[in-house]
């Protein structure tokens, strides 16, 4: 077990290095550089100074080397856009996204998976309706979903139409701040959770349907196990194996932040930061964000494997060999 | 249900193929006086054309005199008899182009790209995931880490880099191939991960040991015996990828790797509709979302309509 | 059975709720601040204004930060000796209550108002002004304001004979003259003296500076900055200005600047009352929702005037960029561009691209620039036949009947035009241009690019033609010297012009003269000549100038929208809310 985790840690590190290096190189190779942020009327001296400060006169590989050496000492460079060290920016943004991601994941899990179990094990109007709604959620682009939710929020005034905190919270204390964030969470969380719940529902339904036809289910029923017991204790667990892989992916993707949702709902998260860094060709910020994304994916990967391990005894046995 | 799905799919394919005949107007023709026009009221044998009152305020007036509708004439399923008064079944967009025409033409690019990309993604993902799941050990590790790498690399970086090296204006056929390639390249790990999970646990089953004992080679075992276990997952994943690709095409268009604006696609039509404040008054602009929904529904019905239908039990455990 | 019933009830409830929300008038709950009151009425102190923008500031250091938000923040938190009123475009006294000019107009003696205090209570003196100029021209600071506050390459200098008098020396006669001092924002000596001495001025007052370390002479002070979320500004208790009736300004207690990256979401929040006013004018497609909101009594929609800047269409006129491309032989001829100007039907252009809310123009200066516009600039009225004739006169005609003209060697007039991706009216403009140039035989293909890529190509002269609009911060052509001069950094149609044509040399001389002539009437005459030469040679083509519309919440009083940005906040100390 320990060996397993250590090996995964080693690979995760490799992954993070590979991804952030690629991101940095790709940003250098893309047309334009961060000096375009100074605008088309920028002075030559300002451009030269910016290029010097951010090592743009070095070759891409040279810059990568320099960055890697500093990164080993946990110095991830500065951001041009914000004129601050990259690590502080990413820490804050990642934290905000993590809050959103965990909420969205929870909602998607507690809504999508039970609904999937239902649609996978029954026929009838209810199942068809749920299926229809799922498919609808999958057909609408996240841009429109977010905008529609902002539209809804601004029309009804039930929820704040964007942002992470309100102005009033400026003067308030800790608990009021927490409450304030919780009021702002539903909008972006819902925008993220709807398509995810739909995905979970579809996959769970399919996995459920297959499992139900297995001989052990009929055998259990013959033994006298009730339908409800059967679903939860026996069938569901067996259907988990493909879900786990997807779940791990979902964790990784959510934690990296969905740019569209964060952009439209003005949530100050990692996805938005990454997109704006890329748009502005802010090299070090891009590398930092990619590294963070790599870390999260690695976490998600490990979680997925652990879940699979816990849920499926066959895999447990196989790994023990 | 499966039959219904099949019929719907065939219908959609027909619409895409027969687009030039079905559309009353060409998809890239801009009607100067019809920017943001609402649908022209349709009365089967005739329709009422619109007159522009104020462009900025998007006010139109329905003309009294009805224009005759021509069925099956002039190479179109239905069209306006008067060349100066176009039939706008779903209104016009911000350039004054017929939304209905763009919708049916859009099916070609959107469906074509997403179907092809889905197929390729399935094949590549299943192959790599199957090999990783079956082989286990170092092979599994390497393949899994490689797929992780491809997954976490934000595709948008790759796209931007590609944009730099490609010539500025690409012929539509090249754009088509490029998009299919990018989608498949970026999405196969998603499929591979799931398939790997299934194959890995399936590998421990008795019939595999039996098969090995009987002398079956690994390729045969993988392809003939183990893969069917992943069939359900693959089919479901296909229904998830299809709409995702249709929508992703719009994002790529935004970054610059897409069709020119004269070539309609459902994704870009939805991006144009992103001024949500207006959608309340112009709900026809969301027609592409309905189209995407129908496609996804059709595929879903076909994939899961009949076949392994769930056995219904009531509370006491009696089969019904 | 029960589950099914529950499902039906839930579905029905959701559908009914959705229908209700869809059809309810805006702001049916919570935040709707519908106001039946008419506009006008007395302004009261108190209340909070919420404004929004695309991004947060990169720095609080005005001498280093060039982005648009830095400029807005300066107006809110800093002061200057005099200011240019963005409604009348006249110079008005600000921190200085009056000034005397010397006989040669090179020396101005400013008398500061009595009792001025920084926001932290420290008295404001002439030393602060001298210090600010010193900081701007310090080599280590490398401030972009050095170019603005110089005449003929030599810096403006100042000294302080006593605490309430500042003497400003212009090194040479200056055309814009005192207007230049609008950009001389004054920074506190007592806070930044040590940074300047240590050579770290450029790094001072970054966004991570604690608000208590900042001080300014503006109506507001920064209370809090949450990166990528919002800036909160509170009233400056020591602000010097009073309203006509003696009320201590600013009226507002607080201004909140929300960072909303998506413009569509921003519009939704403006409509719902979440946001009171924005930084930019409405896009033409947003007119309708804003009008609806006005009809419902939530927003006020104002027509501000014509935009002082218009979309520009130009060909790359740098010979080195075309290398041996034979098309350059006819692109470089002014008749080619003149033909295009004849070919375009500007009225139709206004209708299709800006939905009718635009007027035809033929030069870079629009009627929105009330001070410098010249209506008699040479114009090329729409005449397709004339356009064809002109093309024929330089050897371009359609010899092979394929609809595109070519020269005697068969090289077609077919070009790729770059523009910025995602801007609706640029893409519509190019589509319209393509349609209008087709009958004349010129074929253009649009290639929208992402902004960074576009700017890189422009600066590197790596393109055939481009379609873009450049903003402006001031109506005076002196502020765009870098564009007019052939040696300028922003001479965008011909970057790094090593061998200017005779007409370009003429413009260079005229603009230099415009910069150094104090007589405003003479300056106008000189600039008319510049406009004439530009219109005759057409390095850049302009078609229409759009009307500017601005929407803000009805509860805000005192808004005087300007054609220059920031549209409403330039007048922040006189804004109030009901």
Q: DSSP secondary structure string, B258-313? A: S--TTS--HHHHHHHTT-HHHHTT-GGGGHHHHHHHHHHHHHHHHHHSSSSPPPPB
The pLDDT-based confidence of A319 (bands split at 50, 70, 90) is low
Choice among A156-165, B121-130, C43-52, C248-257 with the minimum mean pLDDT: A156-165
pLDDT recorded at residue B203:
80
Residue B197 has its nearest CB partner, among A27, A212, A242, at: A242
Instruction: Of A198, A312, A207, give the one whose Cα is nearest residue B232.
Output: A207
Average the pLDDT over A104-116 and give the result: 91
**Gyration radius (Cα) of chain A, Å:** 23
pLDDT recorded at residue C294:
92
More confident: C239 or A42: C239
pLDDT digits 0-9 by tens, B147-203: 888 877 767 777 777 776 777 778 888 889 989 998 898 889 988 988 888 888 788
**SS3 letters for C55-101?**
CCCCECCCCCCCCHHHHHHHHHHCCECEEECCCCCCEEECCEEEEEE
What is the residue-averaged pLDDT of chain B? 82
CB B190 within 8 A of CB A300: no
CB C342 within 8 A of CB C382: yes
Handedness of CA B179, B182, B183, B184 (dihedral sign): positive
Establish how many alpha carbons lie within 13 A of residue A229's alpha carbon, considering only the half-sphere containing its beta carbon.
8
CA of A272: which chain C residue's CA is closest? C261
pLDDT digits 0-9 by tens, C135-165: 999 988 888 888 889 888 899 999 999 999 9
pLDDT digits 0-9 by tens, C517-551: 888 999 999 999 999 999 999 999 999 999 999 99
Average the pLDDT over C231-244 and give the result: 93
The model carries a pTM of: 0.86
Average the pLDDT over C174-187 and give the result: 92
Q: Is residue B154 within 8 angstroms of chain C, CB to CB?
A: no
The yes-or-no verdict on residue A233 having pLDDT over 70 is: yes
The Cα C381–Cα A283 span in angstroms is 49
CA distance to partner chain A, nearest, from residue B191 (Å):
9
Structure tokens at C204: 């001072």
Strands (E), chain B: 46-54, 59-71, 78-80
Contacts of B32 in chain C (CB under 8 A): 348, 351-352
pLDDT digits 0-9 by tens, B71-103: 887 778 888 878 788 888 898 988 889 999 999
Q: Give this complex's ipTM.
A: 0.82
Residue to test with chain C: of B261, B277, B278, B280, most C Cβ within 10 A:
B277
Choice among B26-35, B202-211, C456-465, C502-511 with the minimum mean pLDDT: B202-211
Structure tokens at B244: 């995702």
Instruction: Of C577, C525, C572, give the one whose Cα is nearest residue C216.
Output: C572
The yes-or-no verdict on residue C237 having pLDDT over 60 is: yes
pLDDT recorded at residue C508:
93
Percentage of chain C beyond pLDDT 90 is 59
CB A312 within 8 A of CB A264: no
CB A86 within 8 A of CB A77: yes
The pLDDT-based confidence of A106 (bands split at 50, 70, 90) is very high
Average the pLDDT over A49-70 and give the result: 88
Contact A124 B312 (CB under 8 A): yes
CA distance to partner chain C, nearest, from residue B313 (Å):
13
- Residues in Cβ contact with C489 at an 8 Å cutoff, skipping those fewer than 6 apart: A41, A42, A43, A44, C482
pLDDT digits 0-9 by tens, B238-269: 888 888 888 888 777 766 677 877 789 988 88
Choice among B125-129, B223-227, C289-293, C376-380 with the minimum mean pLDDT: B223-227
SS3 at position B207: helix
The Cα C255–Cα C245 span in angstroms is 23
Chains contacting A (3+ CB pairs below 8 angstroms): B, C
The Cα A166–Cα C79 span in angstroms is 29
Q: Is residue A177 within 8 angstroms of chain C, CB to CB?
A: no
Instruction: Of C454, C321, C316, C228, give the one whose Cα is nearest residue A36.
Output: C454
The Cα B309–Cα A122 span in angstroms is 8
pLDDT recorded at residue C373:
94
What single-letter DSSP state applies at residue B42? B
CA of A198: which chain B residue's CA is closest? B240
Q: Is residue C487 within 8 angstroms of chain A, CB to CB?
A: no
pLDDT recorded at residue C34:
41
SS3 at position B50: strand
Establish how many alpha carbons lie within 13 A of residue B180's alpha carbon, considering only the half-sphere containing its beta carbon.
19
The pLDDT-based confidence of C28 (bands split at 50, 70, 90) is very low
The Cα A185–Cα A179 span in angstroms is 10
Contacts of C291 in chain B (CB under 8 A): 57
pLDDT digits 0-9 by tens, C62-116: 898 777 788 899 889 999 999 999 999 999 999 999 999 998 889 999 999 999 9
CA of A230: which chain B residue's CA is closest? B317
Alpha carbon A236 to its chain centroid, in Å, reads: 25
Establish how many alpha carbons lie within 13 A of residue C297's alpha carbon, considering only the half-sphere containing its beta carbon.
10
Average the pLDDT over C278-289 and give the result: 88
Contacts of B277 in chain A (CB under 8 A): 151
pLDDT recorded at residue C33:
40
What single-letter DSSP state applies at residue B159? H
Contact A135 B156 (CB under 8 A): no
What is the residue-averaged pLDDT of chain C? 89
Q: Is residue A245 within 8 angstroms of chain B, CB to CB?
A: yes
**SS3 letters for C334-354?**
HHHHHHHHHHCCHHHHHHHHH
Among A215-224, B71-80, C352-361, top mean pLDDT goes to C352-361
Contact C227 A264 (CB under 8 A): no
The yes-or-no verdict on residue C572 having pLDDT over 90 is: yes
Alpha carbon B315 to its chain centroid, in Å, reads: 40
**Buried b / exposed e across A41-65, counting CB within 10 Å, b at 16+?**
bbbeebbeebeeebbbeeebeebbe
Question: C303 forms bridges with which residues in the sheet?
Answer: C549
The pLDDT-based confidence of A27 (bands split at 50, 70, 90) is confident
Structure tokens at A158: 């039930």
Q: Which of residues 130-149 of C touch A (CB under 8 A)?
A: 142, 144, 147
Contacts of B161 in chain A (CB under 8 A): 26, 29-30
Chains contacting C (3+ CB pairs below 8 angstroms): A, B
The yes-or-no verdict on residue C127 having pLDDT over 90 is: yes
The yes-or-no verdict on residue A276 having pLDDT over 90 is: no
The Cα B22–Cα B14 span in angstroms is 10
pLDDT recorded at residue B117:
94
Structure tokens at C137: 């021209």
């Amino acid at each position: 077990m320990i060996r397993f985790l250590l090996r995964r840690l080693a690979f995760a590190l490799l992954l993070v290095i590979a991804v952030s290096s690629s991101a940095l190189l790709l940003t250098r190779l893309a047309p334009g550089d961060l000096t375009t942020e100074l605008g088309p009327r920028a002075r030559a001296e300002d451009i030269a100074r910016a290029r010097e400060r951010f090592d743009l006169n070095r070759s891409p590989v040279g810059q990568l080397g320099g960055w890697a050496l500093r990164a080993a000492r946990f110095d991830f460079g500065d951001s041009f856009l914000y004129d601050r060290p990259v690590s502080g920016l990413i820490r804050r943004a990642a934290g905000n996204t993590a809050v959103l991601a965990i909420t969205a994941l929870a909602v998607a899990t507690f809504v999508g998976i039970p609904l999937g179990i239902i649609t996978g094990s029954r026929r009838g109007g209810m199942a068809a309706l749920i299926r229809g709604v799922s498919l609808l959620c999958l057909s609408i682009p996240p841009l429109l979903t977010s905008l529609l939710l902002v539209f809804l929020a601004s029309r009804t005034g039930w929820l704040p139409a964007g942002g992470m905190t309100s102005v009033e919270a400026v003067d308030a204390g800790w608990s009021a701040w927490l409450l304030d964030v919780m009021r702002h969470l539903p909008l972006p969380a819902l925008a993220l959770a709807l398509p995810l719940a739909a995905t979970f529902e579809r996959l769970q339904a399919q996995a459920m349907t297959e499992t139900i036809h297995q001989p052990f289910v009929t055998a259990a029923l013959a033994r006298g196990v009730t339908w409800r017991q059967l679903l939860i204790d026996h069938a569901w667990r067996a259907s988990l194996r493909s879900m786990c892989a997807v779940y791990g992916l979902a964790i990784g993707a959510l934690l990296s932040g969905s740019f569209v949702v964060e952009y439209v709902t003005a949530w100050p998260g990692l996805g938005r930061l990454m997109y704006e860094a890329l748009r502005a060709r802010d090299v070090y910020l891009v590398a930092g964000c990619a590294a963070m994304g790599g870390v999260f994916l690695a976490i998600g990967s490990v979680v997925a494997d652990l879940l699979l391990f816990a849920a499926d005894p066959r895999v447990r046995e196989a790994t023990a060999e | 249900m499966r039959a219904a799905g099949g019929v719907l799919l065939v219908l959609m394919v027909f619409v895409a193929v027969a687009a030039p005949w079905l559309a009353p107007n060409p998809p890239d023709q801009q009607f100067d006086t019809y920017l943001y026009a609402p649908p022209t009221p349709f009365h089967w044998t005739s329709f009422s054309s619109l007159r522009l009152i104020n462009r900025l305020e998007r006010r139109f007036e329905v003309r009294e005199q009805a224009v005759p509708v021509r069925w099956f004439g002039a190479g179109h399923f239905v069209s306006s008899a008067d060349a100066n008064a176009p039939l706008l079944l779903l209104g016009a967009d911000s350039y004054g182009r017929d939304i209905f025409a763009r919708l049916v033409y859009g099916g070609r690019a959107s469906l074509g790209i997403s179907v092809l990309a889905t197929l390729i993604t399935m094949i590549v993902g299943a192959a790599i995931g199957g090999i990783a799941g079956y082989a286990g050990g170092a092979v599994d590790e390497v393949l899994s880490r490689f797929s992780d790498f491809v997954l976490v690399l934000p595709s948008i970086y790759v796209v931007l880099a590609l944009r730099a090296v490609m010539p500025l204006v690409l012929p539509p056929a090249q754009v088509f191939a490029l998009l299919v390639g990018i989608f498949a390249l970026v999405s196969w790990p998603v499929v591979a991960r799931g398939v790997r999970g299934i194959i890995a646990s399936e590998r421990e089953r008795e019939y595999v040991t039996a098969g090995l004992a009987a002398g079956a080679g690994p390729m045969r075992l993988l392809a003939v015996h183990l893969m069917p276990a992943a069939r359900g997952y693959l089919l479901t994943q296909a229904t998830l990828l299809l709409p995702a690709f249709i929508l992703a095409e719009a994002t790529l268009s935004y970054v610059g790797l897409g069709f020119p604006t004269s070539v309609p696609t459902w994704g870009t039509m939805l991006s144009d509709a992103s001024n949500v404040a207006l959608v309340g008054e112009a709900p026809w602009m969301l027609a592409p979302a309905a189209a995407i929904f129908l496609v996804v529904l059709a595929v879903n019905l076909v994939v899961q309509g009949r076949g392994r239908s769930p056995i219904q039990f009531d509370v006491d455990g009696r089969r019904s | 059975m029960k589950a099914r019933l529950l499902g039906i009830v839930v579905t029905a409830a959701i559908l009914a709720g959705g229908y209700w929300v869809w059809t309810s008038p805006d702001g049916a709950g919570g935040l709707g601040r519908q106001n039946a009151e008419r506009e006008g009425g007395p302004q009261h102190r108190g209340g909070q204004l919420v404004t929004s923008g695309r991004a947060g500031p990169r720095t609080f250091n005005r001498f280093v930060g060039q982005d648009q938000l830095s400029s807005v923040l300066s107006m809110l938190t800093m002061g200057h000796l005099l200011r240019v009123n963005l409604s009348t475009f006249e110079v008005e006294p600000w921190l200085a209550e009056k000034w005397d000019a010397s006989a040669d107009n090179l020396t101005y003696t400013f008398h500061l108002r009595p009792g001025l205090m920084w926001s932290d209570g420290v008295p404001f003196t002439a030393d602060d002004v001298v210090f600010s100029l010193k900081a701007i021209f310090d080599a280590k600071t490398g401030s972009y304001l050095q170019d603005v506050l110089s005449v003929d390459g030599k810096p403006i200098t100042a000294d302080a004979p006593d605490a309430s008098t500042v003497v400003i020396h212009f090194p040479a006669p200056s055309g814009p003259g005192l207007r230049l001092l609008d950009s001389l924002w004054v920074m506190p000596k007592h806070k930044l003296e040590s940074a300047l001495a240590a050579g770290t001025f450029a790094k001072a007052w970054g966004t991570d500076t604690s608000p208590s370390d900042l001080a300014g002479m503006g109506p507001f002070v920064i209370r809090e900055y949450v990166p990528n979320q919002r800036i909160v500004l509170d009233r400056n208790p020591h602000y010097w200005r009073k309203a006509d009736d003696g009320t201590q300004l600013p009226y507002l207690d607080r201004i909140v600047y929300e960072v909303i990256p998506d413009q569509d979401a921003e519009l939704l929040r403006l409509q719902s009352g979440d946001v009171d006013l924005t930084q930019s004018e409405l896009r033409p497609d947003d007119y309708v929702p804003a009008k609806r909101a006005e009809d419902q009594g939530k927003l006020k929609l104002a027509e501000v005037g014509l935009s002082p800047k218009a979309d520009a269409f130009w060909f790359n006129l740098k010979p080195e960029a075309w290398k041996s491309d034979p098309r350059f032989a006819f692109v470089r001829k002014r008749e080619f561009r003149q033909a295009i100007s004849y070919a375009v039907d500007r009225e139709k252009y206004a209708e299709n691209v800006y939905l009718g809310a635009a007027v035809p123009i033929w030069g870079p200066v629009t009627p929105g620039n009330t001070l410098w516009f010249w209506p008699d600039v040479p114009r090329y009225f729409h005449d397709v036949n004339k356009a064809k004739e002109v093309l024929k006169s330089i050897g371009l005609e359609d010899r092979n009947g394929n609809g595109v003209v070519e020269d005697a060697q068969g090289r077609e007039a077919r070009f790729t035009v770059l523009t910025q991706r995602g801007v609706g009216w640029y893409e519509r403009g190019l589509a319209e241009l393509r349609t209008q140039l087709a009958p004349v035989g010129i074929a253009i293909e649009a290639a929208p690019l992402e902004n960074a890529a576009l700017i890189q190509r422009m600066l590197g002269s790596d393109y055939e033609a481009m379609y873009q609009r450049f903003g402006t911060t001031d109506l005076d052509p002196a502020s765009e010297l870098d564009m007019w001069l052939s040696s300028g950094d922003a001479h965008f149609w011909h970057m790094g012009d090593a061998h200017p044509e005779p007409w370009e040399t003429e413009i260079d001389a005229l603009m230099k003269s415009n910069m150094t002539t104090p007589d405003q009437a003479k300056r106008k005459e000189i600039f008319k000549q510049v406009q004439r030469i530009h219109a005759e040679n057409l390095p850049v083509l302009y078609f229409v100038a759009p009307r500017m519309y601005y929407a803000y919440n009805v509860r805000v009083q005192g808004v005087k929208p300007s054609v220059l940005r920031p549209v409403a906040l330039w007048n922040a100390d006189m804004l109030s809310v009901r």
